[in-house]
A and B are shown apart, each in its own frame.
Chain A
Amino acid sequence: DIQMTQSPSTLSASVGDRVTITCRASQTISSWLAWYQQKPGKAPKLLIYKASSLESGVPSRFSGSGSGTEFTLTISSLQPDDFATYYCQQYKSYSTFGQGTKVEIK
């Protein structure tokens, strides 16, 4: 099974900060990686697919990069609506989610 490890687990940041979340796969997954945002009591929302493709309607301050085993999600300038939990997901072999990164207000 492919394991996905996100870091950090929690991130404290301020509005306007540049934020980076890392996701590492236990084996190579090429670019078969997606990123989601989830707010309390809501379903996850797709942000990025195929490692770096921005989902339609998602603000351009979100970007994804990486391939193989190491990936990053970057928020270029954190907005009040961005405080949430973020998950990565591999879909190279079956499917696995990372444990999540909570972005909280500093």
Chain B
Amino acid sequence: EVQLLESGGGLVQPGGSLRLSCAASGFTFSSYAMSWVRQAPGKGLEWVSAVGNGGGSTYYAGSVKGRFTISRDNSNNTLYLQMNSLRAEDTALYYCARGGILATLSYFDYWGQGTLVTVSS
């Protein structure tokens, strides 16, 4: 059974940093691209970032480019999102999602339950 378990969310002050993790199991992690998608309270879905299966190709939404860094550890089946210079508008539930096996940019067939990030003073 495919499982994605996010962690690392919490309350952080504006300008602060946070590192999210997503532990994957039930599939060959190193074969799939992975993404982070966020959802602000009461709002719609926003794609944040994607990383290819090997970690060499990365993509970012304009709203986070230069502040967030996506990475992965295929030996430990874990996806990461390093978030720096956080702003109030980054407050959201952050989902880890499994992407494609052939392309970094793809649809998402499995999602975690999310970890909540709140940016507030």
Contacts and interface: CB of A to CB of B under 8 A. Distances in A.
A92 B47 CA distance: 13
Nearest to B59: A94
B47 A97 contact: yes
A46 interface: yes
B32 to A, nearest CB: 14
A43 B109 contact: no
A97 B47 CA distance: 7
A45 B93 CA distance: 16
Contacts, number: 56
Contacts of A99: 44
A46 B109 contact: yes
Contacts of A91: 103, 105-107
Interface residues of B, number: 21
A26 interface: no
Contacts of B54: none
Interface in B21-73: 35, 37, 44-47, 50, 59, 61-62
Interface residues of A, number: 23
Interface string B89-107: 0000001000000010111
A81 interface: no
Interface string A89-102: 10111111111100
Secondary structure at chain B's binding surface: helix, strand, loop or mixed?
loop
Contacts of A46: 107-109
B107 A44 contact: no
Interface in A18-58: 34, 36, 38, 43-46, 49-50, 55
Contact of B109 (A38, A50, A55): A55
B44 A100 contact: yes
Nearest 5 pairs of A and B residues by beta carbon: A34-B107, A43-B111, A95-B47, A97-B45, A49-B107
15 contacts: A1-B62, A34-B107, A34-B108, A36-B45, A43-B95, A45-B111, A49-B107, A49-B109, A91-B103, A91-B106, A94-B47, A94-B61, A97-B44, A97-B46, A100-B44
